[in-house]
């Protein structure tokens, strides 16, 4: 969430920055400031009455010491107590309203983000690798996996409905090989610590990373929506450090985890709905960093390179996109998307979204560090990105490495994990 002190100090600047996102979130700033002013007035009134009660209580003690009657003043103190209780209730209600408003306001875009209102305004800032052309003989991944008996979508539909997949035989082995390859790449070469977290998270965890309250309808809630199936490993992994005060020498904290991800939204009906492009359940390797604020944008660049290293090692053509202000995620201050080329689909597919949240998540989850110079507790900066999402990586690999004879070439870097050079 945003810093209420900063909002008080520069409300017009923040409203202008939020306007660049599109939508009407900037309107909430005025509502927030009205609530904040009301709360502060009530708090001032409460403190004044508290001082009056303290003075009256002291007077009672002096009267009793002198053997004087105190019944009248005791009645006054009781009446003041009722007023204080009512004011405390008003402060509590104002706190709830203010907190709900803060939770509803998205992050402020970084000043260097390109201004725009949708994906058409996102500039391509990097391309890598050879782009295999799409032609009449190019199969899409659904055709490939059904012909080679790698995935059974009909069986998955029978078990759980649309948006799921049953990986079989060589198809399951390829998925497992990719997961191990991705984790080894990040832990052995890029310095991440592997985590195996719970796949079910508490509501507070989802609030901490920004999925709630805004995106609750997209999540799988259980226990009356007090627990949720994790929509991404970002949620349990980042929350490992929730409610902590770190030391500067712990930075940067770098975690990676592969988990199943669960999301209700899986796209509308159509060709993209059959296959691996949009799933209710899918595997993803996540990269999470917790860093010093001074270094967070340099860490965003290296995080993005960590994700890119996967695509380059597998020889997959991709491009890096910088998201404009209107296309940023709710909690993000700056984001790069990595889009891999899928020749069978004849389109680019997003496989990673690498974001710097600055202190937005840390403030929600009370994740701080002790500043060495001042001794003050400051909010850390958090970052994450996919390293990468398995379904679309799987799609791009199959479609890129399909051969004329119908077999699939296994990239050299993956062969030690898969145990063969091709799928036939």
Q: Identify the CATH number of the domain in which residue 92 sits.
A: 1.10.287.40
Residues 130 and 66 placed together within one structural domain of the fold: no
User: Is residue 213 reached through a cis peptide bond, with omega within 30 degrees of 0 on the bond before it?
Assistant: yes
Asked if residue 253 belongs to a domain, the reply is yes
Residues 175 and 205 placed together within one structural domain of the fold: yes
Asked if residue 90 belongs to a domain, the reply is yes
CB 284 within 8 A of CB 97: no
For the chain, what is the domain count? Answer: 2
Rounded to an integer, what distance in angstroms lies between the CA atom of residue 321 and that of residue 355? 12
Residues 417 and 334 placed together within one structural domain of the fold: yes
Asked if residue 410 belongs to a domain, the reply is yes
pLDDT of amino acid 176: 98
Residues 8 and 154 placed together within one structural domain of the fold: no
CB 167 within 8 A of CB 150: yes
pLDDT of amino acid 266: 52
CB 207 within 8 A of CB 102: no
Query: Which one of 104, 127, 152 terminates a domain?
Result: 104
Q: Please name the residue ranges forming H helices in 217-295.
A: 234-238
Residues 92 and 168 placed together within one structural domain of the fold: no
Asked if residue 109 belongs to a domain, the reply is no
Tokens of residue 139, six digits:
């199969």
For 241, the domain range is 119-423
Rounded to an integer, what distance in angstroms lies between the CA atom of residue 402 and that of residue 140? 10
Q: How far is CA 205 from CA 33, 210, 228, 307, 341, in A?
A: 27, 9, 9, 25, 34
pLDDT of amino acid 270: 44
Residues 87 and 159 placed together within one structural domain of the fold: no
- Residue whose entry in the numeric block shows the structure tokens 């032609």: 135
Residues 233 and 357 placed together within one structural domain of the fold: yes
Residues 149 and 60 placed together within one structural domain of the fold: no
Q: What is the pLDDT along the chain (424 residues), one digit of tens a residue?
A: 999 999 999 999 999 999 999 988 888 999 999 999 999 999 999 999 999 989 988 888 888 888 888 888 889 989 999 999 999 999 999 999 999 999 999 999 999 999 999 999 999 999 999 999 999 889 999 999 999 999 999 999 999 999 999 999 999 999 999 999 999 999 999 999 999 999 999 999 999 999 999 999 999 999 899 999 999 999 999 999 999 999 999 999 999 999 999 999 755 444 446 799 999 999 999 999 999 999 999 999 999 999 999 999 999 999 999 999 999 999 999 999 999 999 999 999 999 999 999 999 999 999 999 999 999 999 999 999 999 999 999 999 999 999 999 999 999 999 999 999 999 9
pLDDT of amino acid 271: 42
Query: Which one of 47, 79, 104 terminates a domain?
Result: 104
């Amino acid at each position: 969430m945003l810093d209420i002190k900063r909002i008080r100090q520069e409300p017009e600047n923040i409203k202008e920055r939020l306007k660049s996102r599109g939508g009407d979130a900037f309107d909430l700033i005025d509502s927030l400031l009205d609530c904040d002013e009301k709360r502060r007035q009530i708090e001032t009134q409460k403190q004044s009455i508290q001082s009056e009660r303290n003075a009256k209580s002291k007077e009672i003690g002096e009267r009793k010491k002198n053997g004087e009657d105190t019944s009248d003043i005791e009645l006054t103190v009781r009446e003041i107590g009722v007023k204080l209780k009512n004011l405390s209730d008003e402060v509590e209600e104002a706190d709830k309203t203010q907190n709900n408003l803060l939770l509803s306001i998205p992050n402020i875009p970084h000043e260097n983000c390109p201004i725009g209102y949708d994906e058409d305004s996102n500039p391509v800032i990097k391309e890598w690798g050879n782009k295999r052309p799409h032609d009449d003989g190019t199969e899409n991944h659904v055709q490939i996996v059904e012909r080679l008996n790698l995935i059974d979508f009909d069986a998955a539909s029978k078990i759980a409905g649309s948006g799921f997949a049953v990986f079989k035989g060589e198809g399951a082995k390829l998925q497992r090989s990719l997961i191990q390859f991705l984790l080894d790449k990040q832990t052995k070469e890029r310095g991440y610590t592997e985590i195996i977290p719970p796949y079910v998270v508490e509501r507070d965890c989802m609030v901490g990373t920004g999925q709630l309250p805004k995106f609750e309808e997209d999540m799988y809630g259980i226990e009356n929506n007090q627990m949720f199936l994790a929509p991404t490993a970002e949620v349990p992994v980042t929350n490992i450090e929730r409610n902590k005060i770190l030391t500067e020498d712990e930075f940067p904290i770098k975690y990676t985890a592969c988990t199943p991800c669960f999301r209700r939204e899986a796209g509308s009906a159509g060709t993209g709905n059959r296959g691996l492009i949009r799933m209710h359940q899918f595997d993803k390797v996540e990269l999470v960093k917790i860093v010093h604020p001074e270094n967070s944008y340099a860490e965003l660049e290296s995080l993005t390179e960590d994700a890119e290293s996967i695509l380059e090692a597998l020889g997959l053509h991709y491009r890096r996109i910088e998201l404009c202000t209107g296309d940023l995620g709710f909690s993000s201050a700056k984001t790069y998307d990595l889009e891999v080329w899928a020749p069978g689909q004849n389109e680019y597919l997003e496989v990673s979204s690498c974001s710097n949240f600055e202190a937005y998540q840390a403030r929600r989850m009370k994740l701080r560090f002790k500043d060495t110079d001042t001794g003050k507790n400051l909010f850390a900066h958090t970052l994450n990105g996919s390293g990468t999402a398995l379904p679309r990586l799987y799609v791009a690999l199959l479609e890129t490495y399909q051969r004329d004879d119908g077999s699939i070439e296994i990239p050299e870097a993956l062969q030690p994990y898969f145990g063969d050079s091709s799928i036939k």
